[in-house]
Amino acid sequence: MARTVEELLAEAAIKDVHIRYCRANDRRDEELMRACFHPDAGVEAFLALGRQILAMFTVTWRTPSQRKMERGETWGRLIHFPSTIGDRLGVL
């Protein structure tokens, strides 16, 4: 099925946001994370929860992996190293 230029541009924009979201999580960059959402979105509770969860980990690593967009879904791989494991692996 042929896709329109608008569909291709929309898909590229969604993939760009997904990559920025992964980068924001891995770098714990709240400003970059806020930029992934609509300006009117209420993301403060989401960011607060993220701070609590990410505080348990020394390293997080997200790798976007799905190359085909279906039903607005994107997929990726997520690896977390808990603080105690990160210490033992020498990643601190």
CATH of the domain at 81: 3.10.450
- Residue 1: per-residue pLDDT: 72
pLDDT band of residue 86 (cuts 50, 70, 90) is very low
- Taking CA atoms, 7 is separated from 3, 48, 68, 91, in Å, by 6, 34, 13, 41
The three-state secondary structure class of 81 is: strand
Expressed as residue numbers, the domain containing 20 is: 5-89
State both tokens at 38.
């609509």
In terms of phi and psi (left: phi > 0; alpha: psi -120 to 50; beta: otherwise), the region of 42 is: beta
- Segment 37-68, tens digit of pLDDT: 998 999 999 899 888 887 877 767 666 665 55
pTM for this entry: 0.66
Contact 91, 81 (CB under 8 A): yes
- The per-type count for the chain, helices as H runs and strands as E runs, is 4, 2
Domain count, the chain: 1
